[in-house]
């Protein structure tokens, strides 16, 4: 929009236009859900647009896409932090990778970005004929990072022996430990984790 005002220059009236446009306010999914709630409660579109500093057409568009927003939010747990409905360019690969990823994590298998990229490339080769006509697929680290962002997957470092720890055996050991120490008093039990025993040690100096 433009505002027109009259000013005088050298004693003569001159028309001057000044831009009155507002910076576009991008909303995240949390704000879009709040807009939908307000409309359901009976707030008018003009009132909602003013509260969020957006255009009325944007409010109508959000309300029209209510079902799509709800579906996307359910499939993407990280959606409150996102600002667009953009999904993967390769939906079959994305869905297969998502299913495989959560199966692997359920089995306590550690996964890295290169592993995700390689697995995505394998799925792409499986679905290549069904996804013909789409742009070339690049199984890059960037693809894996976008996948993690889309589904709210965070990276954690595994320290020490946690990479190869047998969780099932550890649980069984805790159950059997009481039987192992039943004949001993507490002052006879020591923690020898990462301790060394030098049976025969030669002097290192004289």
9 Cβ contact partners less than 8 Å away, ≥ 6 residues apart: none
Looking at 150, 166, 191, the residue that finishes a domain is 150
Answer whether 0.75 is exceeded by the pTM.
Answer: no
Residue 126 lies in a domain: yes
Same-domain status, 75 and 51 = yes
Residue 29 lies in a domain: yes
Integer CA distances (angstroms), 144 to 41, 96, 158, in order: 40, 13, 19
Question: Are 79 and 96 members of one domain?
Answer: no
Question: Residues of the chain with pLDDT > 90: what percent?
Answer: 2
- The DSSP code sequence of 149-186 is HHTT-------GGGGT--HHHHHHHHHHHHHHTTTS-G
Rounded Cα distance, 148 and 27, in Å: 21
- Residues 67 and 98 grouped into a single domain: no
- Residue 17, number of CB atoms within 10 A of its CB: 9
In a domain, 51, yes or no: yes
Q: How far apart are CA 162 and CA 167, in angstroms?
A: 9
- Phi, psi (degrees; rounded to nearest 5) at 23: -65, 135
Q: Contact 156/109 with Cβ under 8 angstroms? A: no
Q: How many domains does the chain have?
A: 2
Select from 71, 141, 140, 130 the least CA-distant residue to 96. Answer: 130
Are residues 118 and 133 located together in one domain of the fold?
yes
Same domain, 39 and 81: yes
Final residue before a domain boundary, out of 150, 170, 189? 150
Instruction: Decide if 196 is inside a domain.
Output: no
What residues make up the domain containing 65?
24-86
- The backbone torsions φ and ψ at residue 24, rounded to the nearest 5 degrees and listed phi first, read -65, 130
Q: Is residue 139 part of a domain?
A: yes
Domain endpoint, select from 39, 58, 86:
86
Q: Report the distance separating Cα 11 and Cα 188, nearest Å.
A: 105
What's the CATH number where 56 sits? Answer: 1.10.10
- Do residues 35 and 58 lie in contact, with contact meaning Cβ atoms separated by under 8 Å? no
**Angstrom distances, CA of residue 191 to CA of 25, 29, 165, 173:** 60, 51, 19, 15
Please list the pLDDT of the chain residue by residue as tens digits (206 residues). 444 444 455 555 544 444 444 555 677 777 888 888 888 888 888 888 888 888 888 888 888 887 777 666 665 555 554 545 566 778 888 889 988 998 888 887 888 888 999 999 999 888 887 765 567 777 788 888 888 877 777 766 655 555 556 667 777 887 888 888 888 888 888 777 777 777 666 666 54
**Does residue 68 fall inside a structural domain?**
yes
- The answer to whether position 206 is within a domain reads no
Tell me, yes or no, whether 53 and 71 share the same domain: yes
How far apart CA 150 and CA 147 sit, in angstroms, is 5
- Please indicate, yes or no, if residue 81 is contained in any of the structural domains: yes
């Amino acid at each position: 929009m433009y505002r027109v005002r009259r000013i005088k220059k050298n004693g003569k009236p001159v028309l001057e236009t000044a831009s009155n446009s507002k910076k576009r306010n991008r909303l995240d999914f949390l704000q879009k859900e709040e807009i939908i709630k307000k409309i359901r409660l009976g707030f008018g579109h003009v009132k909602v647009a003013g509260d969020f500093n957006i255009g009325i057409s944007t409010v109508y568009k959000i309300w029209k896409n209510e079902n799509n927003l709800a579906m996307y939010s359910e499939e993407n747990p990280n959606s409150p932090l996102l600002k667009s409905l953009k999904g993967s360019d390769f939906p079959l690969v994305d869905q297969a990778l998502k299913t495989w990823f959560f199966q692997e994590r359920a089995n306590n298998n550690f996964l890295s970005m290169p592993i995700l990229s390689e697995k995505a490339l394998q799925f792409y080769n499986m679905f290549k004929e069904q996804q013909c006509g789409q742009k070339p697929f690049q199984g890059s680290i960037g693809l894996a990072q976008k996948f993690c962002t889309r589904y709210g997957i965070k990276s954690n470092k595994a320290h020490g022996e946690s990479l190869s720890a047998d969780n099932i055996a550890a649980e069984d050991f805790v159950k059997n430990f009481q039987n192992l120490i039943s004949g001993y008093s507490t002052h006879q039990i020591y923690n020898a984790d990462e301790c060394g025993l030098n049976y025969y040690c030669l002097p290192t100096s004289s």
